[in-house]
Amino acid sequence: MNDYPVSLQRSSPRTIAAVNARVRIGRIPMEFKRYLDQVYAARTSGIQLDGQNVFLYRSIPDQPDLLDVEFGVGIKAPFAPTGNVREVDLPVGEVATATHYGSYAGLRAAHDAVITWCRSNGRTLAGTSWEVYGHWTEDESKLRTDVYWLLAPL
């Protein structure tokens, strides 16, 4: 856990262009591309993307093996829904956050660090998290992903 310092922040308002899907935990690496491709294809409808991928996860009560996921990309300007692509606002509030550098295969460790930190510090997770991906590079050691977990109010 020492590789993942956790900090408290207040998340800023941000809107993404996204496609929603209900996905089994563990299947996201196999599923995300078909949804994200729809977002990138929507550029032909005039959606102005900033190129930063963002995945928003919401837990589903009584279905711990499933997540509601918004597979999205940051936007530069508002837009009208097109196909399955719509505007989604990221949560605003107090978050616990950590940054992962390296292969996406190791990303779970950053989430685990945040969850462990929250338990150790008496903070309750609100059931919503998201990942903000840095721009792609072939050098896996330079891949950056910021992990955010929304916290329940004190």
Q: Is-contact 126 92, C-beta < 8 A? A: no
1 has pLDDT over 50: no
pLDDT digits (tens, 9 = 90+) for 5-53: 999 999 999 999 999 999 999 999 999 999 999 999 999 999 999 999 9
The pLDDT value recorded for residue 2 is 44
Which pLDDT band holds residue 57 (cuts at 50, 70, 90)?
very high
The pLDDT value recorded for residue 106 is 93
* H or E element, residue 114: helix 108-120
Contacts of 117 (CB under 8 A, 6+ apart): 1, 6, 96, 98, 123
* H or E element, residue 117: helix 108-120
Domains identified in the chain and CATH numbers = 7-151 (3.20.80.10)
CA 139-149-56 angle, to 5 degrees, is: 70
The pLDDT value recorded for residue 8 is 98
Contacts of 133 (CB under 8 A, 6+ apart): 52, 53, 54, 55, 143, 144, 145
Stretch 134-138: mean pLDDT: 92
Q: What is the phi/psi pair of residue 60, to 5°?
A: -115, 115
pTM tops 0.85, yes or no: yes
pLDDT digits (tens, 9 = 90+) for 83-106: 999 999 999 999 999 999 999 999
- Looking at the DSSP bridge assignments, the partners of residue 146 are 99, 132
What does the mean pLDDT of the chain come to? 95
CA 62-73-110 angle, to 5 degrees, is: 55
